[in-house]
Amino acid sequence: MDQVKRRGVLCLVFVIACGGANGDTGDEDRGPIEATLNMGDRVNWPGLDQASGRSIPLIRGFGNGVPIAYWFLGFASRKTADSFWFCRQSDFDAGRCPLDEHRRLNWETLQGNPIFTQIPGKSDFSPFWQMWRVVVPDNYIPNSIKTPETLNAKKEGGEVSVEPFILDFGDFFGEPAGPQEVVLHCAHVLDGTTLEENGGEMPDGSGLMLELLGRQGWFQEPGEPGAYVVNFIDFSPSDGAFPEASDSESRPFMRFANIYIHWRFCEAEPEPGICYLENYAYADRRPVSERGLGQDITGDGDPNDTNNVLGAVPCDLQRQTELPYSPLWGPQAVKVNAAMDGTVSMIDTTRDQAVSDVLSADDIFANVDDGIFAEPVEMSEDETGNPVPGNEGRVFFNCPNPVNADFVPHPCAP
Amino acid sequence: MRPVAVLLVGACGATDAALGALEVGVRDANAFQTLRDGDILPLRLNTNGGTDMVTVALRTRGADPRAPAVDVEVTVEGVVLGGEITTGAPRDMEPDGDGFVLWDVNLAFRSRTCCHNCREAEVIARLEDASGRAFEGSARVMLARGMCPEPSVCCQSADECPDPAIAQVCQ
């Protein structure tokens, strides 16, 4: 950690947001951010447009030996952006603000809505937020501070204190993390955006999933007065909060985990059935993924089934060589050796999302040992063969997992 | 909210007549290939999740090549279904002997494949260079994942698309 540098970043934010405080009456509420967006701007916000509104698709795969699912929110990167969370001194001192004892945002003690410094479409946007805690006096009127410039003025006037939020993570899945700056997953969405099957059945049949809720925050367009309302999905009840990555530099990086994408090669004998698609991006291979193929190959009426395998799921790191769960996934390509293609059944041959020979990272590496799979390779480009800008050539996706209704992110159930 | 869109509307003296020409094309064997009306623009399907993509390149003449702002939309029957994704800092254009090219502009779709596969689409691109000069161009293309028509790529319901009129519903 480099606290000096971090404070410098905060000061920079305040300097850019020039202007004075807006007095005790509070900053202007400029209404929903959606009113300022044109149709093209909406592309940068997650979800797929349908006649009934925007929905974030639930994609199916496997992890730790069972069917799992994840919401696909699109490309993301390891960088973080700044967010400010308001707490009373007594709540902060008691450790019940901004997070509760389960490392979830504590909406019972938070004072008003947070301030975000970015929105989708800005080049420095990230859905992974460094948390800054703002300690306010007991007579603070929630939501009277909506902008960084007012926050800065109040800080300079000694009315509030603003510091990076530090949390003692202790042992983080075997890593001695200790006190660290905190990264939180809050996905900005357009008003009305829903998570597909939110609160529905867990994909492994273990019960209902925890229903995640939408919240609101503030965003100030630089150079403009007041702040706009932005909607976001609070993933802290399922994701918890994260210590910054151990390779963080001048500001925190988000941690990531592995997702394994399976590929069959069309030179195999007999030719894999998914190879019949012509003019596919790659002539010689196909992903074992309905989303990758754009087609319902299992015949269950949706195009969301895959044989993708997560290296870990929330609160469950079964294979010690894997990275612990993160909603930020770095894909690894798993290539089926053409000569062994017929020896492994996955959803493209079983035609059933519930049935596959490859259900876990352990299965993958057992197949590697048996010569059926090649060693997984980090995917540094997208399907077009083009690196996705902003990630130094690597591809990352924001894909949080649903969890059971009684799940808490900390401490993990034994 | 995109700077280029704001500037195109609000910049002093920025009228349509002042717009420079912008070619919409693709990378072909590392050379810029202009998209002509009716050309097929291959629809790439993301390996992992929910976003379909196409990749284009943009070429101008007389532009300042440093970190231009771009705004690209893809429309089908007037419905905006996709546009460029913003995941990193602006990139510089590169000379190709015939102008300056911004390569590998990834456009993501916010619609299911059955809404835009095998559909005629318009790619509308706007670019503003570092000096503030604006450029605009477009191309009418056929979005295609493979061969068209492809009746197996179909929606279960018309409501799966943002405008039910564009849905290709399973027969």
Q: Which of A257-261, A282-286, B9-13 has the highest mean pLDDT?
A: A257-261
Q: Is B48 on the interface with A (CB under 8 A)?
A: yes
CB A377 within 8 A of CB A333: yes
Residue A56's DSSP bridge partners are: A195
Tell if the CB–CB gap between B87 and A291 is shorter than 8 Å: no
10 Å Cβ neighbour count for B75? Answer: 19
Task: Give the torsion through C-alpha atoms of A54, A241, A361, A356, to 10 deg.
Answer: -30
CB B129 within 8 A of CB B63: yes
Tell if the CB–CB gap between A42 and B2 is shorter than 8 Å: no
Q: Is B128 on the interface with A (CB under 8 A)?
A: no
| Nearest in space to A166 (alpha carbons), one of A134, A137, A132, A135 | A132
Residues 62-81 of chain B with CB under 8 A from chain A are 71-73, 80-81
Q: Which of A65-69, A275-279, A391-395, B7-11 has the highest mean pLDDT?
A: A65-69
Residue A322 has phi, psi (to 5 degrees) of: -85, 160
Question: What is the C-alpha separation between B55 and B145, in angstroms, rounded?
Answer: 13
Min Cα distance B13 → chain A (Å) is 22
Question: What is the C-alpha separation between A385 and A111, in angstroms, rounded?
Answer: 46
Strand pairing report for A227-234 and A257-265: unpaired
Decide if pLDDT at A89 tops 90. Answer: yes
Q: What pLDDT shows up at residue B16?
A: 47
| Nearest in space to A406 (alpha carbons), one of A242, A215, A238 | A238
In tens digits, chain B (171 residues) has pLDDT values of 444 443 333 333 334 446 899 999 999 888 999 999 999 998 876 655 557 888 899 999 999 999 999 999 999 999 999 998 766 667 899 999 999 999 988 888 999 889 999 999 999 999 999 999 999 999 999 999 878 888 888 898 999 999 999 999 988
DSSP B89: -
Q: Which residues lie closer than 8 Å to A293 by C-beta, 6 or more apart? A: A274, A277, A280, A286, A287, B45
Q: What pLDDT shows up at residue B171?
A: 84
Residue B118 structure tokens: 């095998």
Decide if pLDDT at A1 tops 50. Answer: no
Coil vs helix vs strand at B151: coil
Coil vs helix vs strand at B9: helix
Split at pLDDT 50, 70, 90, the class of A345 is very high
Residue B25 structure tokens: 């094309």
CB B37 within 8 A of CB B139: yes
Question: Which single residue is written with the structure tokens 């009934």?
Answer: A52
Q: What's chain A's average pLDDT?
A: 90
Q: What is the mean pLDDT of residues A131-136?
A: 98
Which residue in chain B is spatially nearest to A301 when comparing CA positions? Answer: B156
Min Cα distance B120 → chain A (Å) is 18
Min Cα distance A43 → chain B (Å) is 6
- Interface A:B, Cβ pairs < 8 A: 180
| Nearest in space to A74 (alpha carbons), one of B70, B71, B33, B85 | B85
Strand pairing report for A175-176 and A58-63: unpaired
Min Cα distance A156 → chain B (Å) is 30
Query: Which range (A11-20, A171-180, A336-345, A401-410) has the least confidence?
Result: A11-20
Q: What pLDDT shows up at residue B7?
A: 37
Question: What is the C-alpha separation between A20 and A153, in angstroms, rounded?
Answer: 7
Q: Computed from CA positions of residues A96, A97, A102, A104, in that sequence, does the dihedral angle turn out positive or negative?
A: positive
10 Å Cβ neighbour count for A281? Answer: 22
Tell if the CB–CB gap between B108 and A390 is shorter than 8 Å: no
Chain A residues in contact with B159 (beta carbon < 8 A): 50-52
Decide if pLDDT at A128 tops 60. Answer: yes
Q: What pLDDT shows up at residue A2?
A: 39
* Tens digit of each residue's pLDDT (9 = 90 or more) over A287-314: 899 888 877 889 898 889 999 999 999 9
H helix or E strand, kind and range, residue B53: strand B52-60
DSSP B84: E
Question: CA A83, A48, A280: angle at the middle one, nearest 5?
Answer: 115
Could you give the ipTM of this predicted complex? 0.82
SS3 string of chain A? Answer: CCHHHHHHHHHHHHHHCCCCCCCCCCCCEEEEHHHHCCCCHHHHCCCEEECCEEEECEEEEEECCEEEEEECCCECCCCCEEEEEEEEHHHHHCCCCCECCCCCECCCCCCCCCEECCCCCCCCCCCEEEEEEEEECCCCCCCCCCCHHHHHHHHHCCCCEEEECEEECCEECCEECCEEEEEEEEEEECCCCEECCCCCECCCCCCEECCCCEEEEEECCCCCCCEEEEEEEECHHHHCCEECCCCCCCCCCCCCEEEEEEEEECCCCCCCHHHHCCCCCCCCEEECEHHHHCCCCCCCCCCCEEEEEECCECCECCCCCCCCCCCEEEEEEEEECHHHHHHCCCHHHHCCCCCCCCCCHHHHHHHHHCCCECCCEECCCCCCCCCCCCCCCCCCEECCCCCECCCCCCCCCC
Q: What is the mean pLDDT of residues A31-49?
A: 90
